[in-house]
Amino acid sequence: MTQIEREEMEFDVVVVGGGPAGLSAAIRLKQLAPDTTVCLIEKGSEIGAHIVSGAVIEPRALEELLPNWRDLNAPLRTQVTEERMLFLTESRAIQIPYLDRVMPHMANHGNYVVSLGEVCRWLGEQAEALGVEVYPGFPGAELFIEDNRVAGVVTGDMGIERDGTHGPNFTPGMILRAKQTILTEGARGSLSAHAMKRFGLRKGVDPQTYGLGVKEVWEIPAEKHRPGLVQHSFGWPLDDHTYGGAWLYHFGENLVSYGFVTGLDYSNTYLSPFEEMQRTKLHPAFREHFEGGKRLIYGARALSEGGFQSIPRLTFPGGVLAGDSAGFLNVPKIKGTHTAMKSGMIAAEAVFEALEKDRREAASMTARVRDSWLWSELRDVRNIRPAFSKWGMKLGALYSGIDSMIFRGRAPWTLHHRHGDNETLKPASLCEKIAYPKPDNKITFDRVSSVFLSATNHEENQPVHLRLRNQAIWKTVNHDVFDSPESRYCPAGVYEQEKTGENDWNLRINAQNCVHCKTCDIKDPTQNIEWCTPEGGGGPNYPVGM
């Protein structure tokens, strides 16, 4: 095979990922050392194009990073005015009283409902104003390793044909050399996974566990709009052994952010997170918000839910992990933006010190995290998410209240995550099928029309970026044992099982539909599905509002 000659660019620091963590890291680096050369790459077509979140922002980290954010016209415009937590039965909604006492982590006083994509675009502008070189449409395809240390990243090749040959418009990726590399790719990042495996960063910590967030943005009649309303729910439609729930936020100009998170440690192979999200809209507590409205945007993304117990070692030779790549989401708060930003700032400070002292590894990263409010915040809620896995929804909620009100996060024990999410499915023969309602195309919809609203696109002549490592395993395990769970857990209709003969089945992969949520990379029972980095700019193109 002909060796590809690649152009090289050299920087002091390369940041991979244009989300809150990566942008905060880049900004903080330039604040600390204006002459430091910083390059940030993002696989989406623009900053914010791949961002999916509720989102309610706690402005604590933003205040630290950019104290004058109000003067800089930051897009935090809708302050929380009303909040409620509902326990749902099939027909009723029971409001949890004294929310700030029973679930103090859920309290949103002083927080803002935002479009996180818009916030990231704004952060990108601040980074560029400080001199950060921001390159959207450049995916990090692989780590660039020299002398057993990360010395930068290699961006993806463009113009490779489906058969693997170089097409007429082939452009090789570049080597972006760096003295230090900061990985902030979000949940289940490809380069982050490579770094964890190569340098043993996950030794001695719990497996990471994930949730899948599926989201819609609606425009509703002005007379129904209640800016600042924040509503969360748990209970129905999920059974007692499945973690998850819905959110609904009123923000902006007659906009509603609605979504549903399903814990990916669920066991029923017939469960569909997309369908659970759709049917929750039919509940009286939610339906009234959508009637007369119009669905504008759709998207989905996995989020890291393991918390404190699942945070890996954060440093490796030549770089650090930050944001949801490392798993800094505060699950009980249902917030990860402020923690991602803080971890990015800490990463920048540790990397700055390493550059100043010409060190191979930004060794102070861990100590800096431990000395920050980020560490204590995650430590104090460490038992809440695993309590739901251990005891179920109702007892888990009861324990959460006890942990919050009595122990205040200082219980003398730590509950653990025992299994990866790919290990929890039960065989189809042991599962009850779920009868989901058909879409009415007014309140509820199918996957095809939903993916259309994500503006997802992949050049069709490029190699398929979703592959089976072993086709035979799919037939004998996924189909024969679990009845093709990927056809249900994928929120974009990428996977379809097709009957090709009397007893023959095949898996059809519609890779062009992929919204880069990473669920297949997480939930496949044998980890047989390989999610590869597609060409830059591919995937969803979420507009402002998401």
- The total of other beta-carbon atoms located within 10 Å of residue 505's CB is 15
- DSSP characters over 372-392: SHHHHHHHHTTTHHHHHHHH-
Annotated catalytic, 39? Answer: no
Annotated catalytic, 226? Answer: no
Catalytic residue among 28, 177, 295, 301: 301
Catalytic residue among 78, 325, 337, 343: 337
Q: Is 147 left (phi over 0), alpha (psi -120 to 50) or beta?
A: left
Annotated catalytic, 517? Answer: yes
Annotated catalytic, 53? Answer: yes
> What are the residues whose beta carbons fall under 8 Å from the beta carbon of 395, sequence distance 6 or more?
387
Catalytic residue among 24, 45, 53, 181: 53
Catalytic residue among 325, 368, 389, 514: 514
Helices (H), 221-336: 273-280, 284-290
Catalytic residue among 120, 181, 233, 520: 520
Label the pairing between strands 294-304 and 210-219. antiparallel
Annotated catalytic, 490? Answer: yes
Q: What is the spatial distance between Cα 126 and Cα 75, in angstroms, rounded to a whole number?
A: 13
Please tell me whether the peptide bond between 386 and the residue prior to it is cis, using omega within 30 degrees of 0: no
Annotated catalytic, 301? Answer: yes
Catalytic residue among 385, 490, 519, 533: 490
Annotated catalytic, 337? Answer: yes
Catalytic residue among 190, 400, 517, 519: 517
Helix (H) / strand (E) containing 451: helix 447-452
Q: How many CA atoms lie within 13 A of 485 on its CB side?
A: 34
Q: Which residues of 468-489 are buried (b: 16+ CB within 10 A; e: fewer)?
A: beeeebbbebbbebbbbbbbbb
- The total of other beta-carbon atoms located within 10 Å of residue 498's CB is 9
Q: Which residue has the tokens 């039919």?
A: 282
Catalytic residue positions?
53, 301, 337, 490, 514, 517, 520
